[in-house]
Chains A and B, each alone.
Chain A
Amino acid sequence: MGGLFDFTDYGALLGLVTDSLIAAVVLGVVGGLVGVFVQIRDMQFAVHGISELSFAGASAALLLGVDVAAGSIVGSVLAGGLIGALGVRARDRNSVIGVLMPFGLGLGVLFLSLYQGRAANKFGLLTGQIVAVDNVQLGWLVGVGLAVLLGLAVIWRPLLFVSADPEVAVARGVPAGRLSVVFALLLALAAAMAVQVVGALLVLALLVTPAAAAFRITASPLLAPVLSVVFAVVSAVGGILLALGSSVPISPFVTTISFVIYLGCRLLGRHQRGGRRSGGAGSTGRGAVDVDTAGPAVPVGAAPGDVLR
């Protein structure tokens, strides 16, 4: 084996992966937008749990000889529905996910070990396909992606409200429970899409990292989703373009690109936030927030300057 990369005949290869590139763009848009709410609702662990159950569903489908995409959707929607029904309380949710996830992964491994077909199919579900989205797959990826985007467009405003500010949102009549279920189902569909491209183990790179990166550099509720989408699309498309000239699967490229973007945003964000508050209204900024969380000792810890203000 030569080097990791070999870009001869790249142009010819590129023509073969048009469908994969379209799939990557769709996945990037969906993952970037869903990721915004994953981040605000603190559901990163749920993303991981849902993708493991999606993997179990897909490997069951592989074993039974039925459509793998359908199997992965069934697995993730079951997991998403359960997680959504558990509601908003992060602590309950996390322990249930922690229980479900190894069970799903174990089932998946069992199904794969019983499966007699091509080994590449097995590996692909966990760590990503090597640029092999065919027409049928593209059809459902785009279909499911559009469904998720439509759903998000309908619930966007109340979902943002109840995710960031639950008490006031509920008082204003936002149906928190139903939105929690609907969002978990949209998240499940997005995870099922991502499993097809980057594999169950690495879904986080498209559903969590891009939004986390965007949140480091902006607090605008308009700019954050836009940046998140840009980062996710760049990661997914860039991953395919690099994987084309290489013998390794697509996922290490996707994860590396999205990680590098995150690192860059972190550095940039630190620089920005340091300067952002300097022109404020005599605020104590970050320091005062820290004091607030310290509980009953607050007024004792408050500087004399605070009292005089």
Chain B
Amino acid sequence: MTGPVLSARGAAVAFGDRVLWRDLDLDLMPGEFLAVLGPNGAGKSTLLKAALGEQPLSAGSLRVAGRSPGRGNRALGYVPQQKSMDAATPLRARDLVAMGLDGHRWGLPHHGRADRQRIAAALAEVGAADYADAPIGLLSGGEQQRVRIAQALATDPALLLADEPLLSLDLGHQRAVSEIIDRRRRERGTAVVFVTHEINPVLELVDRVLYIVEGRHRLGTPDEVMTSPNLSELYGTPVDVLQVRGRIVVVGAPDHPAGPSQHHHEGAPARPASSRRA
């Protein structure tokens, strides 16, 4: 495919008076890595839901791999925001991947040799081959996340939608998961929409950033978007963007509706925050 994998024209989502984002124009090309940033509740996940066909637009249009958004689009791989699987879930890692392949089909599960090889290859690609037969509920958060990415990539999608895939992972797993996704888009041209509240773990991989705050947004390369004037305008309050040892630190952004607090784009979010409080 040579055209854009995800294409938005004047797209908007509003719930009543509350506009999450509007006038979104975007052409995401094959192999491109887009990070979607913004405070909680800015509508980052809603953008993914719109691409999945689960959230209708209130204005504008959206095309996914040349089609209008609809459920069951096999050109899409989806990694939902993480929640631990129940320890007693009767599924092994390979079963979760198998579901990504054909779990929507009616009837009883049946996998021929070609399917089994495909599942094994998907697990191997994310470095999860060692625990392919382990119960999914007994894997660590980082291991589960690798398996989820294998599941999302099992159909060889043109576009990977990942919702906070690094959330609650330690630094080692953050790096591993980011590298798996990066390698995939370089080698296979899978475009990536990566919702995150932390840009630093993926700063070197990101082609463009979509930064959404209260209905406003900026779209561009990290250097273009992540500047003090830009973010001050987005947040409507003075915000400083600092470059510290190759990392971007945002100071003064009111992140939570409860009140202004320091908003740090760091690799391990809770560590500096709690040490400051202590």
A170 CB-CB contact with B under 8 Å = yes
Binds A, one of B36-44, B97-105, B179-187, B243-251: B97-105
Name the CB-closest residue of B to A166. Answer: B80
Q: Could you tell me which residues of chain A, from 277 to 291, have a CB within 8 Å of some CB in chain B?
A: 277, 280-281, 283-289, 291
Which residue of B106, B109, B141 has the most chain A CB atoms within 10 A of its CB atom?
A: B141
Binds B, one of A77-85, A138-146, A190-198, A295-303: A295-303
Contacts of B137 in A (CB 8 A): 219, 289
B139 CB-CB contact with A under 8 Å = yes
A153 CA to B70 CA, complexed, in Å: 27
Name the CB-closest residue of A to B109. Answer: A157
Q: Are A276 and B138 in contact (CB under 8 A)?
A: yes
Q: Are A171 and B106 in contact (CB under 8 A)?
A: no
A288 CA to B82 CA, complexed, in Å: 14
A300 CA to B141 CA, complexed, in Å: 15
Binds A, one of B13-21, B26-34, B128-136: B128-136
A13 CB-CB contact with B under 8 Å = no
Binds A, one of B3-11, B85-93, B224-232: B85-93
Q: Are A297 and B270 in contact (CB under 8 A)?
A: yes
Q: Could you tell me which residues of chain B, from 31 to 75, have a CB within 8 Å of some CB in chain A?
A: 52, 54, 70-73
B122 CB-CB contact with A under 8 Å = no
Q: Are B136 and A289 in contact (CB under 8 A)?
A: no
Residue of A160, A273, A306, A308 near B99 (CB, 8 A) is: A160
Binds A, one of B168-176, B188-196, B207-215: B168-176
Name the CB-closest residue of B to A296. Answer: B270
Q: Are B168 and A215 in contact (CB under 8 A)?
A: no
A300 CA to B272 CA, complexed, in Å: 9
A300 CA to B276 CA, complexed, in Å: 12
A6 CA to B105 CA, complexed, in Å: 53
Residue of A36, A157, A293 near B108 (CB, 8 A) is: A157
A231 CA to B151 CA, complexed, in Å: 32
Q: Are B141 and A289 in contact (CB under 8 A)?
A: yes
Which residue of A172, A293, A306 has the most chain B CB atoms within 10 A of its CB atom?
A: A172
Q: Are B103 and A40 in contact (CB under 8 A)?
A: no
Contacts of A174 in B (CB 8 A): 72, 103-104
Name the CB-closest residue of B to A169. Answer: B103
Instruction: Mark each residue of chain A from 157 to 188: 1 if its CB lies under 8 Å from any CB of chain B, else 0.
Output: 11011001101111111100000000000000
Q: Are B78 and A168 in contact (CB under 8 A)?
A: yes
Name the CB-closest residue of A to B103. Answer: A161
B2 CB-CB contact with A under 8 Å = no
A285 CA to B134 CA, complexed, in Å: 10
Q: A36-B90, A307-B170 are in contact. Are A285 and B52 (CB under 8 A)?
A: no
B203 CB-CB contact with A under 8 Å = no
CB distance from B14 to the nearest CB of A (A): 22
Residue of B52, B81, B141 near A288 (CB, 8 A) is: B141
Q: Are B172 and A306 in contact (CB under 8 A)?
A: yes
Q: Are B54 and A170 in contact (CB under 8 A)?
A: yes
Instruction: Mark each residue of chain A from 20 to 38: 1 if its CB lies under 8 Å from any CB of chain B, else 0.
Output: 0000000000000000100
Name the CB-closest residue of B to A307. Answer: B171
A227 CA to B130 CA, complexed, in Å: 26
A170 CA to B140 CA, complexed, in Å: 24
Q: Are B89 and A219 in contact (CB under 8 A)?
A: yes
Q: Are A300 and B104 in contact (CB under 8 A)?
A: no
B236 CB-CB contact with A under 8 Å = no
Q: Are B107 and A156 in contact (CB under 8 A)?
A: yes
CB distance from A169 to the nearest CB of B (A): 6
Q: Are B170 and A165 in contact (CB under 8 A)?
A: no
A155 CB-CB contact with B under 8 Å = yes
Contacts of A218 in B (CB 8 A): 90
A251 CA to B170 CA, complexed, in Å: 51
A229 CB-CB contact with B under 8 Å = no
B268 CB-CB contact with A under 8 Å = yes
Contacts of A155 in B (CB 8 A): 106
CB distance from B172 to the nearest CB of A (A): 4
Contacts of A224 in B (CB 8 A): 90
Q: A160-B109, A298-B168 are in contact. Are A39 and B103 (CB under 8 A)?
A: no
Q: Are A283 and B52 in contact (CB under 8 A)?
A: no
Name the CB-closest residue of B to A167. Answer: B80
Q: Are A308 and B172 in contact (CB under 8 A)?
A: yes
Contacts of A286 in B (CB 8 A): 87, 138
Q: A158-B104, A165-B99, A289-B139 are in contact. Are A170 and B71 (CB under 8 A)?
A: yes
A221 CB-CB contact with B under 8 Å = yes
Q: Are A168 and B274 in contact (CB under 8 A)?
A: no
Which residue of A153, A170, A287, A299 has the most chain B CB atoms within 10 A of its CB atom?
A: A299
Q: Give the 8 A-B CB pairs with smallest separation, nearest first.
A: A173-B72, A219-B135, A288-B140, A161-B103, A167-B80, A292-B141, A224-B90, A281-B130
Excluding A170-B54, A309-B172, 17 further A-B contacts by CB distance (< 8 Å) are A36-B90, A161-B104, A164-B85, A164-B96, A165-B85, A165-B99, A170-B71, A214-B90, A219-B135, A221-B109, A276-B138, A281-B131, A286-B87, A296-B270, A300-B271, A300-B274, A307-B171
Q: What are 14 sample pairs from A and B whose C-beta atoms fall under 8 A apart? A: A153-B108, A158-B104, A160-B103, A161-B99, A171-B80, A172-B78, A173-B104, A219-B138, A220-B90, A277-B134, A281-B143, A300-B270, A309-B170, A309-B173
Could you tell me which B residues sit within 8 Å of A by CB distance?
52, 54, 70-73, 76, 78, 80-82, 84-85, 87-92, 95-96, 99-100, 102-109, 127, 130-131, 134-144, 148, 151-152, 168, 170-173, 268-271, 273-274
